[in-house]
Structure 1
Amino acid sequence: MTVEMLWEQDDPDEVLRNRFGFADAAAGGDWVVSTVERRWGVRVDPPERLVMSDSNALAWVRSGDERLLVKWSVAPARSERLAFAAELTARLATLGLPVSAPVPTLVGAVQVTVDGVSMGLQRVIDGAHLDVADAEQVRAAGATLAQLHDALRSYPSHGSRPGVLSTPAPLTDQIAGWIASAPSTLSPEARDVFGSMADRAPTALPSVQIVHGDYRAANILCRGTAVVGVLDFEELRLDHRIVELARSAVMLGTRFRDWGPVPLSVRQQFLDGYQTVHALTDEELRWWPVLVLWYSLALVPPGEDPHGWGPAAVEVLEQTAR
C-alpha cells in the first residue's frame, strides 16, 4: 500500500502514527477493511493507496471489480459538518447531478462515527481533474456550478444543525475589513483602485445560499468535455453565488501542489458556461470584476511567489483600471 501526503511536506509514516493513531500502514489497512465490512457489510481488499491531509484520510479499496473510496476525519469538531455534507451530497445525487454519492451503511446512514472518527464510503468516479487549457471543459465546469447552485438554493441550510453553517457578514463589510487589515501585498495603487470599485458596487444582491465552498480543478473530474464528478463538499458554506463564482474563476486551475492562477480567457469561459444555465443579475455582473480583483489580490503570497500570483493580480488590476 502506498502511503502519502496530499499537499503537506510531513513524513507520511509519522503522520499516520502520530495524527491517525496507526502503528504502520498495515494496521491502518486492517482497520479500514474491518470497519467497512462491519458497518457497510462490504468485503474489500486491503487499501491500494492511503492519502492524508490535515486531519483527513482517504483510502482506495476494491470490492470485486468495484473501486471504492473510504474517507474519514479525526477532527471531532468537523463531525456535524461532515454528516451534513454527506446528506446534502446524497440529495444532489438523487437529482442527477455529477457528485460522488455516499454509500449507505447497513442501517442506512451516509456518514458514521467509528472509533471516534467521522467516516464515509463512496464509489470512485472514473475521470481526470479539470484541464483549464480545455475551453470546453472549463465551460462545462461553469455550467455545472450553476446547476449545483440552482439545486442548493432550495436545500434547507440549517435543518436540525444550526451550528454547521453561519450567515456571512455583508459583502461590503468583508471587503472593508480586508482593506483595513492592510495586507502587506496590497500596494497603495491597488488599494485605491479596489476600494473605489468596492464603494461603487451595488448593495443589493440575491440572498445567500449554500455553496460548494471549494469548487476548483482539484475537486472537478471530467471525461471528454463533460464534468462527471464534483468532489468534496466538506467546505460548504452560506454565501452569495456570485462570490463563489468569482472565487472559483480565480482559483479554477489549482490542484494539490500545483497552485497557480489562470488567464483572463479561462475566467471568461467559466463565466460564459455558468450563464448558459443561469444568467446573472445586473447587480451580480457589476460585482464580478470587483470580486475577481479581490481574490486575485488576496491570493498574492507574502515573500516568494513561485506560481506568479503577483503578476497575475497586477494584470487583473490593469485590466480593471482600463
Structure 2
Amino acid sequence: MTTPISMLWESAEPDAALTERFGFETAADAIDWLKGVLGEDWGLEVEGCERLVISDANCLAWIVVDGCRMVAKWSMRPRVFARLAEIARLTVWLGERGIPVSVPLAARDGRVQVEVDGFSLGLQRVIEGELLDITDPVQVRAAGEMLARMHVVMSDYPGTIPTEEPPVPGAQLVGNDFRSANILWADGRIVAVLDLEESAYRRRVDDLAQASILLGTRYHDWAPTPAEVRGAFVAAYVSVLPLEKGGAGALDDSVEAHLTRIPWPG
C-alpha cells in the first residue's frame, strides 16, 4: 500500500519536495530510513506508516509502533539543530510541570532530539483531539487560561533557547505560536499544546496580543480572530495572570500593530 504524502501548507508538489529537500527518491525510501533509525537509536520496530507531511524544512511521519500511534519529525536545516534540541528539552520540562504537551520520547542514550544522517529527529506520541474551535466560548476561555499558565511556568525555565534576535526589555520565554492549529481539545479540556518550535523571548503582552489575533487560524485561509472572541480570550487570560501596570494600553497597541503587520490572505 502506498503511503500518502502531502504538503502541510505549501503549494509545492510533495514528491518533488521530498527528493529536493530531504534526498529521498520515494516515500518508501523515507520510511525505510526512518524504520532503520528508530530501530537503531530508539530500539523500536515500526509496524506501519499512515502518511508523510512536509512543512518547509521539516518532514513528519505518522507511524504505528507496538499498536501506538506516534509522530516522527525531522529537520534538514542544520542551523536550527541546536535550537531544536533545546526546544525538545523545554517540552519535557513543561510536561513535568503539568502543561499538556506531547513529551518527546527519549532515545536509548537519553537524547530527546537525535542528529543522524544530516537530520535532526524527534519522536512523540500522537495525542487524540480536535483542533481548538473558537466558536465555542468554553474552549476560548480554556485557551486564555492555558496561555496564562504557560506564561507563568515558562518565566521560570532555567535553560536558554537559542534565538537570532536579542530579547527586548521586559521579555520572557513564550511559545510564540499559540493558535487553533497547535491546540487540541478533547473531553472538555485542552489535551495538548503542540509545536513549540517558534518559542522566543518576547514581552508576554505581545505574545498575548498575537495569540488573540491568530487564535482561530489553522493551515489555510487565515483571518483575524473576531473582536468579541479576542475579548473573551484576553479576559480569561487576565483572570489567571493580570496584566502589568499600563498593560491594557500596551495590549491595545500590540494588537493594532499585529493586525497591521500580519500579511492576511486576500
TM norm structure 1:
0.79
Q: By how many angstroms is 1:91 displaced?
A: 0.5
CA contact (8 A) 1:7 1:257 kept: yes
Residue in structure 2 matched with residue 108 of structure 1 by the alignment: 110
Residue in structure 2 matched with residue 53 of structure 1 by the alignment: 55
Q: 1:277 aligns with which of 223, 240, 254?
A: 240
State yes or no: 1:90 paired with 2:81: no
Residue in structure 1 matched with residue 166 of structure 2 by the alignment: 167
CA contact (8 A) 1:142 1:272 kept: yes
**1:183-202 matches, cutoff 5 A:** none
SS in 1 for 2:154: helix
Residue in structure 2 matched with residue 29 of structure 1 by the alignment: 31
**Separation (CA, whole Å) in 2 of partners of 1:262 and 1:147:** 21
State yes or no: 1:227 paired with 2:190: yes
SS in 2 for 1:143: helix
CA contact (8 A) 1:33 1:46 kept: no
**Regions of 4+ moved over 3 Å:** 163-166
CA contact (8 A) 1:165 1:237 kept: no
SS in 2 for 1:48: strand
**Separation (CA, whole Å) in 2 of partners of 1:293 and 1:72:** 36
Q: By how many angstroms is 1:65 displaced?
A: 2.2
Q: By how many angstroms is 1:157 displaced?
A: 4.7
Q: Map Cα deviations across residues 160-191 of structure 1 (whole Å, 9 max, x no partner).
A: x7x44643345xxxxxxxxxxxxxxxxxxxxx
**Separation (CA, whole Å) in 1 of partners of 2:83 and 2:244:** 31
Q: Map Cα deviations across residues 177-232 of structure 1 (whole Å, 9 max, x no partner).
A: xxxxxxxxxxxxxxxxxxxxxxxxxxxxxx31110011111111111431110011
**1:1-322 matches, cutoff 5 A:** 1-158=3-160, 163-164=162-163, 166-169=165-168, 207-301=170-264, 305-306=265-266
Structure 2: which amino acid aligns with 1:168?
P
**Separation (CA, whole Å) in 2 of partners of 1:28 and 1:300:** 34
Q: By how many angstroms is 1:4 displaced?
A: 0.2
**Separation (CA, whole Å) in 2 of partners of 1:51 and 1:248:** 25
Structure 1: which amino acid aligns with 2:16?
E
SS in 1 for 2:93: helix
Q: By how many angstroms is 1:64 displaced?
A: 2.4
**Separation (CA, whole Å) in 2 of partners of 1:108 and 1:300:** 41
* Gapped regions of structure 1 (runs ≥ 5): 171-206, 307-322
Q: By how many angstroms is 1:137 displaced?
A: 0.5
Cα 1:275–1:239 shift into 2, 3 Å: same
Greater per-residue strand proportion = 2
Structure 1: which amino acid aligns with 2:172?
Q
CA contact (8 A) 1:129 1:222 kept: yes
Identity among equivalent pairs (%): 41
Structure with greater Cα Rg? 1
CA RMSD of aligned residues (A): 1.4
Residue in structure 2 matched with residue 185 of structure 1 by the alignment: none
Does 288-297 or 73-82 show the bigger shift?
288-297
**Alignment coverage as a number of residue pairs:** 264
**Separation (CA, whole Å) in 2 of partners of 1:84 and 1:58:** 19
**Separation (CA, whole Å) in 1 of partners of 2:167 and 2:192:** 28
**Separation (CA, whole Å) in 1 of partners of 2:4 and 2:105:** 24
Structure 2: which amino acid aligns with 1:218?
A
**Separation (CA, whole Å) in 1 of partners of 2:46 and 2:159:** 35
CA contact (8 A) 1:214 1:236 kept: yes
TM norm structure 2:
0.95
**Separation (CA, whole Å) in 1 of partners of 2:20 and 2:164:** 30
Cα 1:157–1:108 shift into 2, 3 Å: closer
**Separation (CA, whole Å) in 2 of partners of 1:12 and 1:300:** 25
CA contact (8 A) 1:5 1:52 kept: yes
SS in 2 for 1:262: coil
